[in-house]
Structure 1
């Protein structure tokens, strides 16, 4: 939280990710459809990002987010006249036995006063206690209790007037609410958070961006056009495009990719497709046997205020290992041309065709009328000159085991491609510690240049519990005489400390690693509710948010019981992080949580020469 308030965007994003499930499910409780719930999460992210410095009590960040969400829901219900679209709900759930029951209860809740609706949704759909509801709604606890009592009274009367049976207790309302609230998290949820941040960042960066870009492009192009290895084709092509700073911004966070572009390791393409006043152009790409980065532009001829790729496909795709694409373009409102990149991981270079067909739809918005009803598909064919990059790699075959932090770890077979580097890593099965992460891992050369973990979202590929491939920025164009693998610390725990055991009868922890404490425990008819505290490192964990436990919960016989529900976290004073979740109740005597990451660090120095 401290770093987020200082302007660390990654720290803010981590906070939103930690609260995303709660926000989405709560929004869904109001709107009952995915699109409106996602839009609510995006708007809450936007408002929170802009108003974060106004938050008086950082410890109540999660409560503050819910308050923003409820205000948004109020506005939307007023704007829509409390009309809720049930079409999607009905089409998906007509075959369920309790469909009529769900639909009827939703209708009855919507007939309540808005204050009563908030209390019912927060109390019974999301298991919030009266004090927390009071903080969210900024009302005395006595008022909340009165609203709750009156809402229950009206619901029971309304229910009796219907054809279904009357509710006999709050327990029944909990049961029905739990059925209604069981909704899967959509794949676009993270994108909605990113979109909200981009919208706020765009407004924050309008002035600063132009200043930074003019300086950065001058420095970049000085290197770009004077490098001895550059051929004029791609350089000339890029120099003629409007807004020459775009390429700098797209590659500046990846040192290896930046060096590749500086060395003119790229191919101009220039194929386009245009629909609805939006022109998509594939400007070029850089590629090797492991990765393809495609650069594209969007020309805004219709005055759109927002554009975002949707339903993106590449065909054929048998070669594909991973793909990320199309950040939301809020800046398109102020710029006629905007640019982006598509990052593709290659699984089998032999299956990469001579041509790729890229197809995508776009979500578009106009500043006056909002979202545009558009079903067009933009489609372009991208030719690939595979012969131009096949075999471009440096391979170093070695196998070296080192004692790092008292553990045997083995590095082998480094491959350095023009756009990224891969190294094989293996833990000794007999090690006493489980290693979660090698921190400050990098490749260093004799000139002191460091090439760190990649920024395209894929930092490793796990082969099994002990072996993985690590991905780092490429040093291909650094022309170094010497290369070393270096690291300075490791996050790890003793293997016997990886499982945290909770005794249901005594309501205490039987086993837990140092630094982890059970702060609060409660239960209701359906769930165990847990709140843990963990001590963080004041310096190293300023922008970190840990998912401590695996979502799978085990019993005392190590059999799977359930999944963790509604994980949320917040940063407290004195470098403590609080995280809460709930687990569905059964007949278990013990609950076993498995630790998959932990801020326990061991310092050591490692330096392995690979070249």
Structure 2
């Protein structure tokens, strides 16, 4: 009866997982395992027995990681064990992060602060030159009702490059909330000192708390592996240059620029990936944002990392891209007259309704494939004034249609407004294969 709805929800979840890795409880699973090993070690009298106990636990974890990735049935079984579910989801959804766990790159932290009955505890972190993931828990003596997360940042004695931030999709359960924050540095950095402060504004039932939790990491980062390519690629007469690929422990960065003379604007790579000689693939990053830059000009795309793998061959490949004609890369909307003045020429996108601060689009005739993206990247009015988006939500409709509801900030602006497309189901196809020489 609800098969179609379930399929749609499953497809939507897959796309969400490309953006936010569900790590709920993973920090506790990791920290619990490490803490258990430490307690076990203290109980042993003979150092030799302690060593083999810890070695056995490490081997068991590696076997667990490998088995989860190889066997969905086994993953389903162990995910029902309390404290393991979060770790299973992390390993299943991002092999780069699974590799970090296998190679002991996750650093356990025990740092906390309590303010007005709320406690923020940092459980662990992953740091490299491209960014930092912080795993934390918020707890209270009372149920966490109306929890709202606000501004967050990290501080160090060194200036931190501009960063984009993505957060997980944690959910409050009773009086506890576990989640993570991923900071993506726009420039590589290697910190001289590993003393940091994690700041997070938290609201609960109208009460606002500003946390500032100092913590220290025990190990510095490993350098990224950079491959300078400067390879020119052409797909359906659209030209681009693959400048370089840098593989960090957390993620892989691919720097690509596009020929200004192109007739189309490239919006997304559908299948940008690293692939080894055995066909193993590291695809779009699932632990934060998937790209950075100006679509159609110069972009950094983020892939899962194979930093700890040593394949005999490694290729950067892609075959399908979202692309629209340059003159159709933006929507032009008269909000007062509720008219869509400019849109892609295929006629699939319709303006359903509009008022001063709300606009609703419907996209018809989608192909039978996943298309679960935000629609808009930037909005300006007729005078070039930027209008911020308060929220954008997408809904699945019948016949594979999509609907987007976009709410604008409450400001004065001049009609018509111009909305840059973030994604659109218009594709070009070809074959690009670039080998990364080690």
Counterpart position of 1:341: 180
Counterpart position of 1:437: 268
Structure 2 residue 435 is matched with structure 1 residue 609: yes
Residues 450-504 of structure 1: per-residue CA shift (max 9 Å, x gap): 1112223322221685111111111111221111112221111222444667899
Counterpart position of 2:196: 356
Matches for 1:236-275 after TM superposition, within 5 Å: 243=83, 245-250=85-90, 252-274=92-114
Would the alpha carbon gap of residues 3 and 357 (structure 1) be closer, same or farther in structure 2, given more than 3 Å must change?
farther
| CA distance in structure 2 between the partners assigned to 1:381 and 1:587 by the alignment | 46
Question: Displacement of 1:427 after TM fit?
Answer: 0.8
The alignment covers a number of residue pairs equal to 376
Would the alpha carbon gap of residues 379 and 501 (structure 1) be closer, same or farther in structure 2, given more than 3 Å must change?
closer
Counterpart position of 2:366: 537
Question: Displacement of 1:261 after TM fit?
Answer: 0.9
Structure 2 residue 217 is matched with structure 1 residue 384: yes
Counterpart position of 1:319: 160
Question: Displacement of 1:343 after TM fit?
Answer: 1.9
Structure 2 residue 394 is matched with structure 1 residue 552: no
**Aligned equivalent of 2:399, options 568, 574, 581:** 574
Structure 2 residue 320 is matched with structure 1 residue 492: no
More helix by share: 1
| CA distance in structure 2 between the partners assigned to 1:580 and 1:310 by the alignment | 23
Question: Displacement of 1:579 after TM fit?
Answer: 5.8
Deviates more, 1:393-402 or 1:514-523: 514-523
TM-score (ref. length: structure 1):
0.50
Residues 27-64 of structure 1: per-residue CA shift (max 9 Å, x gap): xxxxxxxxxxxxxxxxxxxxxxxxxxxxxxxxxxxxxx
Counterpart position of 2:61: 224
More strand by share: 2
| CA distance in structure 1 between the partners assigned to 2:202 and 2:353 by the alignment | 46
- Structure 2's unaligned 5+ residue stretches are 30-56, 65-81
| CA distance in structure 2 between the partners assigned to 1:412 and 1:545 by the alignment | 26
Counterpart position of 2:70: none
| CA distance in structure 2 between the partners assigned to 1:593 and 1:379 by the alignment | 38
Would the alpha carbon gap of residues 303 and 225 (structure 1) be closer, same or farther in structure 2, given more than 3 Å must change?
farther
Structure 2 residue 284 is matched with structure 1 residue 453: yes
Matches for 1:581-592 after TM superposition, within 5 Å: none
Matches for 1:72-221 after TM superposition, within 5 Å: none
CA contact (8 A) 2:284 2:290 kept: yes
Larger gyration radius, structure 1 or structure 2: 1
Counterpart position of 1:46: none
Counterpart position of 1:597: 423
Question: Displacement of 1:560 after TM fit?
Answer: 4.0
Counterpart position of 2:302: 471
CA contact (8 A) 1:515 1:534 kept: no
Residues 191-210 of structure 1: per-residue CA shift (max 9 Å, x gap): xxx9xxx9xxx9xxxxxxx9
CA contact (8 A) 1:564 1:581 kept: no
Counterpart position of 2:44: none
**Structure 1 vs Structure 2 CA RMSD:** 4.8
CA contact (8 A) 1:463 1:469 kept: no
Would the alpha carbon gap of residues 527 and 477 (structure 1) be closer, same or farther in structure 2, given more than 3 Å must change?
closer
CA contact (8 A) 2:274 2:314 kept: yes
Question: Displacement of 1:595 after TM fit?
Answer: 4.5
Would the alpha carbon gap of residues 564 and 362 (structure 1) be closer, same or farther in structure 2, given more than 3 Å must change?
closer
- Structure 1's unaligned 5+ residue stretches are 16-193, 203-209, 211-219, 228-241, 365-370
